[in-house]
Amino acid sequence: MNNLRIRFVRGEEVKYISHLDLMKVFERAARRSNIPVAYSQGFNPHPNIVFGLPLSVGVTSEAEYADIELSERMEAEDFILKLNMSLPRGLYITEVAYRTTKSNIMAIISRADYSLVVAGTSKEGINSISLKINELMEKPEIIIKKESKSGARHVDIRPMIHRLEISTECKNVFLLDYIDSLLEGFTGGTKYTRQEINCLNTRLSAGSAANLKPELVVLALNQLSDVEIRLLKIHRTGLYVERDGRIYAPLEHNVL
């Protein structure tokens, strides 16, 4: 089978595209680049492309994944080159490999890493937030109210938070320009000082079995008294697969 797994970046320029529209972007880019994508059979054929984990509108990512089936095999390098020439600015493929395993990317994702740009307004600054994080992580359970279409329900999110730490320095290259703009002030936005800006790095459960949105982690932190953290930006830094208790990136040999 000619099943490709791709890793791609979704940058600032394209972060407001919905998941459904993103699928269309790839379909059209494939047509433009004459990449031989395989289509489903039937009355209304659609391209065999599966995305790892939908990204919310407004979120950027340096590690998105998709599985694409080709109707004929092509060199991985050639594929990257051709598709990248047909993708709009802000979207580009960074890695490709053929896979032989049966389960597609959507079925196997179980963890997601995020870098969250936050503004902490706690008087004590980062140390105070850091303490709150420790406090939060030591709790046996964290119950929050989750609103959904079917009504509100209480969920324990503690088991879904695998890592949470704060740093004053955001060294991620995908965030530098954004943070500079926050300091200069976006049009119609709040202006921040360097001291106010911090980064939360977190690893959360993701995928069909259990999925936690990073917004809820910030909500949980804020529910602990006297800390007030404003979530300014969500950036995904990785998606992972769990196999036999170990964590792998989707393009590692063991899971391809």
Partner 1 sequence: MSIRISDEILQSVEKPSRYTGNEWNSVQKNLDGIDIRFAFCFPDVYEVGMSHLGMKILYHLLNERKDVYCERVFAPWVDMEERMRRHDIPLFSLETKTPLKEFDIVGFTLQYEMSYTNIINMLDLGKVPIRAEDRSLSDPFVCAGGPCAYNPEPLSVIIDFFMLGEGEDIILEVMDAYGKWKKSGSSRESFLESIASIDGVYVPRCYDIQYNNNGIIKSIRPINAKYPERIRKRIVKVLDSAYFPDRIIVPFTDIVHDRIMLELFRGCTHGCRFCQAGFIYRPVRERTPGKLLELAGKLQQSTGYEEISLTSLSTSDFTGLKELTDGLIKEMEPRKVNLSLPSLRVDNFSLELMEKAQKVRKSGLTFAPEAGTQRLRDVINKGVTEEDLIASVSTAFSGGWNNVKLYFMLGLPSESMEDVEGIAILGCRVVDEYMKLPKEKRRKGLNVTISTSSFVPKPFTPFQWEAQDSIEVLKEKQVFLRSKIKSKHITYNWHDPELSFLESVFARGDRRVGEVLIRAWEKGCRFDSWGEHFKFDRWLQAFEECGVDPHFYANRKREFDEVLPWDHIDTGVSKKFLIKENEKAFRGETTQNCRMNCSGCGAAAFGGGVCVE
Position of tokens 């303490």?
131
Task: Please enumerate in sequence order all residues whose Cβ is within 8 A of that of 147, keeping only pairs 6 or more positions apart, or say none.
Answer: none
Distance from chain centroid for Cα 231: 15
Nearer to partner 1, 16 or 168 (CB): 16
Site string for partner 1, 156-195 (x = CB under 8 A): -------------------------x----xxxxx-----
Site string for partner 1, 36-75 (x = CB under 8 A): ---x---xxx-----------xx-----------------
Pick the binder of partner 1 from 1, 19, 21, 139 (CB under 8 A).
21
Specify the stretch interacting with partner 1 by CB under 8 A; choose among 8-16, 67-75, 216-224, 236-244.
8-16
Nearer to partner 1, 45 or 159 (CB): 45
Give dist(CA 108, CA 167) in Å, integer: 30
Give dist(CA 209, CA 248) in Å, integer: 17
Using rule CB under 8 A, residue 19 touches partner 1: no
Instruction: List the structure tokens of 57.
Output: 């509108």
Task: Please enumerate in sequence order all residues whose Cβ is within 8 A of that of 188, keeping only pairs 6 or more positions apart, or say none.
Answer: none
Pick the binder of partner 1 from 232, 239, 251, 255 (CB under 8 A).
232
Query: Is beta strand 91-98 parallel, antiparallel or unpaired with respect to 3-10?
Result: antiparallel
Beta carbon of residue 45, minimum distance to partner 1 (angstroms, whole number): 6
Beta carbon of residue 121, minimum distance to partner 1 (angstroms, whole number): 15
User: DSSP string of 25-92?
Assistant: HHHHHHHHTT--B-B--SSS--B-EEESSPPPTT-EEEEEEEEEEBSS---HHHHHHHHHHTSPTTEE
Using rule CB under 8 A, residue 28 touches partner 1: yes
Nearer to partner 1, 30 or 63 (CB): 30
Nearer to partner 1, 25 or 50 (CB): 25
Of residues 212, 217, 244, 175, the one with CA closest to residue 53: 212
Nearer to partner 1, 9 or 14 (CB): 14
Instruction: List the structure tokens of 214.
Output: 């990073």
Number of residues that bind partner 1 (CB under 8 A): 32
Contacts with partner 1 in 79-108 (CB under 8 A)? 86, 88-90
Nearer to partner 1, 151 or 188 (CB): 188
Q: If phi over 0 gives left and psi between -120 and 50 gives alpha, with beta otherwise, what is residue 151?
A: left
The end-to-end CA distance of the chain, in Å, is 13
Residues lying near partner 1 in the complex (CB under 8 A) are found at 13-14, 16-18, 21, 24-25, 27-32, 39, 43-45, 57-58, 86, 88-90, 181, 186-190, 232-233
